[in-house]
Structure 1
Amino acid sequence: MVEPHSAQRKVIDRRVALAREWDELVGRARSLGPEFAGLLDPPRLSDLTPDFGRGTAVLINVTPDRCDALLVSAGGVRSVPLRDLNLREAADRTTAHLARLARLEAAAARMMHTAHWARARPAATNFTAHHRAKTELLQAQDDVDGHLSADLVWLWDAVTGPVLEHVCSGGVPRRPDTQVWWCPTGPLSFLPLHASGHHDGSGVSVLDRVTSSYTPTLRALARAARPPREERHQRMLAVIVEDLAGQPPLPQAEAELALLRELFAGDLLTVLDGRAATRAAVLDALPHHRWVHFSCHGRQNLSTPSRGGLLLADGPLTVTELGRGRFDGEFAFLSACMTATGGVHLSEEVVTLGAGLHYAGFRHVLATLWSIDADVAAALAHKIIKPLVTDGRLDPTGSAAVVNDAVRSLRTDFPTRPSRWAPIIHTGP
């Protein structure tokens, strides 16, 4: 019979031996060269703050006890208490926002379904059903935009306004050369911080004060800020899936492809469209292209976000599959539905398609927080990609400013429809 104390000593001795073995292995790995010297060490602040210039990374911490924003810049780190922000209200507003978006998506699907039957079988009952579906869609749209406008004001008052008081020394006047990288956590990951404010012509909004980008982590931002290793693969990859069984058509895909053919002539453009746009073909092509444009549907799994993906000819290209890649890309344009919506329970981990491509090696990523209209998607391609291209070469250096200009332009076009311009985000340096 083994004594209890003897058995416990054996467990402790085993753990001590494993700890020593671990330390030895880490030490050996660190001795392999200077690039491994800091292996598994906590990152130093200097390693996480590249040349920010006039920029500031804003990490927002939301907990049941208190909420704060950490402002990280070239000058160091400051903490800004967010006294008007609390976890319960943030969660309640996010839950309600997602529910309204879901109702809008369902109403749009019903409208398209009834339109199909009204064309296929012209009958009074089908026309009535289609008219009712259109009415429901308009009501759902009004519901989303009305509450979203209020949420944008709340976000400014509780979160972004207090932050910009410190970033912009009072927040006025507009400083277009000041860049802010938002890094939200928890339920705030679903809300458009960059679009928050009082959009009444007063200029009291983030869009009117700074240039906004997003980053999933400081480490990801520091990595993306490094220049690309080589000037190779200067080509655009276009992945076009306009019609897919079980999904509404994407009428903007044809216009987006025409724009890309205009900007990238000859062998500067590779097109994978229709049945050719398979998961294997896309994964094989990504490492050989510096830029990529996805015009297809996206799907998010809110309970298991890593299973969400871009819907290609033979199935979804998932966040997990993208994360396995190591691409040396500069720019990715995701003209797809729900491309930047993460999981409800894992929202603080920012497991999204946009973040997946960013982690996988694309330095600048344009995505949307929820579905956008076909006409808005087509307009975005012109407003964002065209200014970045000269003689078939895309320079994404100023893409954050271009994206912010495009959002402001759409706000001017649709002042009462923030659902059309608020979801558009830029991720990267």
Structure 2
Amino acid sequence: MSLRKPSDLEDAISLYSHAASVPIGPISVRFRATRNWILCARHVRHPSLLHAHSIAISLLPQLAWIGLSLTHRYAELKRGADVVREAAAAALDSGFPELAVEWLEQGRSIVWGELLQLHGSYEQLSSAHPDHARRLRELSAALDDAGAAREKSLSTFSESTDDAMHHATQTLQQVADTHRTLAIKRDKLLQEIRRLPGFNRFLLRKDFSQLRASAHSGPVVVLNAAERRCDALIVLADVDHVIHVPLPNFTFQRSIDLQSILKSFLRNALVERTGQIERWDRGTWKSFLSPLWKSVVEPVMDALAFSTHGELSRIFWCPTGPFVFLPIHAAGLYNAEYSAPGHKVFDFVVSSYVPTLSILAPSRNTHAAHNNDFRLLAVRQPPTDGQLSRLPGVHTELEHIKEVLTNSASACATFLEPSVGTVEEVLGLMKEADWVHFACHGIQDARNPTDSGLCLANERRLKISDIIGLSRSHGGLAFLSACQTATGDEGLSDEAIHIAAGMLFAGYGGVIGTMWSISDTLAPIVARDVYEHLFRNGTRPDYREAALALHEAIGVFLSLLAGLLRVRPISFLA
């Protein structure tokens, strides 16, 4: 059909909108029809455009249905990677920044969001309808276990010999059927719960009036990168609207270019946890961070009227798309003439990153402990004769931590020695410990992101898929002194599939991770300084101070370098 005439486009919009709206149609077909509807509606500025975007976003969770394995869910989401950011841009075009924030929250980190629901608090439901709450908890726990079993079965299947293939296939099918049946039962139970008085929005997406409560500890800045525009959306807890900061001097293509430049820098830098010497052009690196400051961060600082005087403010960056891979926390002007405060993010705020606003919800920020003793689980890379390089600095790192904790009357620490530290042992101890510290190799698996993880004994990985099954409820800090623990999958930038996010969604209140590789010499120094700050009062430490502790540790390191910019320290983030 030709679409050259306006009437043709009208006909196409009518047909695509009908196909997208048929509730019994296959989700993949409806999603494809919705995308075509959006393309046609955008071409003629059709009044149905926002409605089309709304349907596309509502279909994303169904496209990545909870009854599928994690691997398959992420594969489905890759097909709609840009949908949410383009929808937010359309909402901004129409003057609805609050709707843009709602859509970005609803359509990003979908898998993590489902897990938050599985592990979420059901106190209100328990009080009003205890039987429904009990059934939902039981189904959610069973679904959680079934998802883990399915991932394990998939891994076993891929490693099966020809003789064992038949049995592995049968097992995989049985596990998949169980998973699917539980998901259907849970969906039906949720529909039943939503028919109860006062529970019509139970576990459904939050509107902006609810989302802004997530900014209780400081402004949340959502950075949206779409083909047509880039924007900063500032959320404040006590302001009933979004502070919209357009970024006209920063484009989607510019963000892609900077991401490519960064990858090139890091390839040439030869920066590894093994302690290799970094080699890179400092002038070029400074020119990389300059446009991030001038075109992205400085407009945000101006909008918030932040000052370099007095106590530093907290800020939470919530990046989307290519912004996810850019060091927003390090943006600034680093030439000698800009040495005075006021030209770098570091001068104004203590930065943290969050994958979603919901991760900051007040109900998640618990500070309870198991008992009166503070327990820190510290796991280091064991000596290896395999493919992984040795990390001599991890011994020094843990000795620094032991020394700090020895001087604090409030803490007793549990340490795993190199001769132990299997995945099973570590997971068991993580459930008992208040905080965890990993000093080891980190691996970002490009082929299967949920297999990304931390390298333990016998070169086995503590995978993201293992971590998310912890379901902690008492907050705490996870310090990931390993390479690339906060680097996600480029094809799924808005799903935050990295180890640091896994720790957050598993229930840790704070995480210190790394955006790229780190130095085996630097890591022990940063760890020592962070823990010295956190334990400085000799009382039980507060994980909510971790970002400030890291900020000060990096600040000390940079000052020792007489202001010279280094790529290694700014890899750390909280």
Match of 1:83 in 2: 248
Match of 1:7 in 2: none
CA positional deviation for 1:40: 3.7
Secondary structure of the residue aligned to 2:521 is helix
Label 1:386 to 1:252 Cα distance change in 2 as closer, same or farther (>3 A).
Answer: same
Question: Is 1:228 aligned with 2:367?
Answer: yes
Return the match for 2:280 from 126, 132, 142: 142
Secondary structure of the residue aligned to 2:280 is helix
| Partners of 1:37 and 1:325 in 2: CA distance | 29
Letter aligned with residue 348 of structure 1: D
| Partners of 2:265 and 2:312 in 1: CA distance | 35
Return the match for 2:194 from 27, 30, 42: 30
Letter aligned with residue 173 of structure 1: T
CA positional deviation for 1:24: 7.0
Aligned residues: 381
Label 1:360 to 1:225 Cα distance change in 2 as closer, same or farther (>3 A).
Answer: closer
| Partners of 1:33 and 1:146 in 2: CA distance | 63
Match of 2:548 in 1: 401
Match of 2:226 in 1: 63
Match of 1:8 in 2: none
| Partners of 2:493 and 2:516 in 1: CA distance | 15
1:176-206 CA-to-partner distances (Å, cap 9, x unmatched) read 3421100111112111111111133132111
Label 1:286 to 1:82 Cα distance change in 2 as closer, same or farther (>3 A).
Answer: same
Question: Is 1:416 aligned with 2:556?
Answer: no
8 Å CA contact retained: 1:252, 1:374: yes
CA positional deviation for 1:142: 1.9
| Partners of 1:172 and 1:22 in 2: CA distance | 50
8 Å CA contact retained: 1:236, 1:264: no
1:246-295 CA-to-partner distances (Å, cap 9, x unmatched) read 22222221122212322335982111232311111111111111101101
User: Can you give the 5+ residue segments of structure 2 that lack an aligned partner in the other structure?
Assistant: 1-21, 26-184
Question: Is 1:165 aligned with 2:318?
Answer: no
User: Can you give the 5+ residue segments of structure 1 that lack an aligned partner in the other structure?
Assistant: 1-11, 16-20, 113-133
8 Å CA contact retained: 2:485, 2:498: yes
Return the match for 1:153 from 271, 290, 313: 290
**Paired residues for 1:358-397 under 5 Å:** 358-389=504-535, 390-391=537-538, 393-397=540-544
| Partners of 2:23 and 2:541 in 1: CA distance | 59
Match of 2:392 in 1: 251
8 Å CA contact retained: 2:515, 2:572: yes
Return the match for 1:183 from 288, 296, 318: 318
| Partners of 1:303 and 1:338 in 2: CA distance | 15
CA positional deviation for 1:53: 5.3
Match of 2:339 in 1: 201
| Partners of 1:258 and 1:307 in 2: CA distance | 30
Instruction: Pick the structure with more strand per residue.
Output: 1
Secondary structure of the residue aligned to 1:208 is helix
| Partners of 1:55 and 1:250 in 2: CA distance | 37
Match of 1:96 in 2: 261
1:357-410 CA-to-partner distances (Å, cap 9, x unmatched) read 111111011111111212211111111112112447322232222211122222
| Partners of 1:260 and 1:372 in 2: CA distance | 18
Letter aligned with residue 569 of structure 2: W
Return the match for 1:276 from 420, 445, 449: 420
Normalised TM-score (structure 2): 0.61
8 Å CA contact retained: 1:237, 1:271: yes
Secondary structure of the residue aligned to 2:471 is coil
8 Å CA contact retained: 2:464, 2:499: yes
Label 1:272 to 1:37 Cα distance change in 2 as closer, same or farther (>3 A).
Answer: farther
CA positional deviation for 1:69: 0.7
8 Å CA contact retained: 1:211, 1:401: yes
1:78-122 CA-to-partner distances (Å, cap 9, x unmatched) read 1110111111111111122113313434x869x98xxxxxxxxxx
Return the match for 2:573 from 420, 425, 428: 425
CA positional deviation for 1:352: 1.2
CA positional deviation for 1:231: 4.8
CA positional deviation for 1:156: 0.4
CA positional deviation for 1:146: 3.7
Label 1:240 to 1:14 Cα distance change in 2 as closer, same or farther (>3 A).
Answer: closer
| Partners of 1:42 and 1:250 in 2: CA distance | 44
Match of 1:263 in 2: 404
Identity value in percent: 30
| Partners of 2:452 and 2:476 in 1: CA distance | 23
Instruction: Pick the structure with more helix per residue.
Output: 2
| Partners of 2:492 and 2:554 in 1: CA distance | 28
Match of 1:317 in 2: 462
Normalised TM-score (structure 1): 0.80
Match of 1:211 in 2: 350
Letter aligned with residue 319 of structure 2: P
Return the match for 2:380 from 236, 240, 245: 240
Q: RMSD of aligned C-alpha atoms?
A: 3.0
| Partners of 1:368 and 1:13 in 2: CA distance | 43
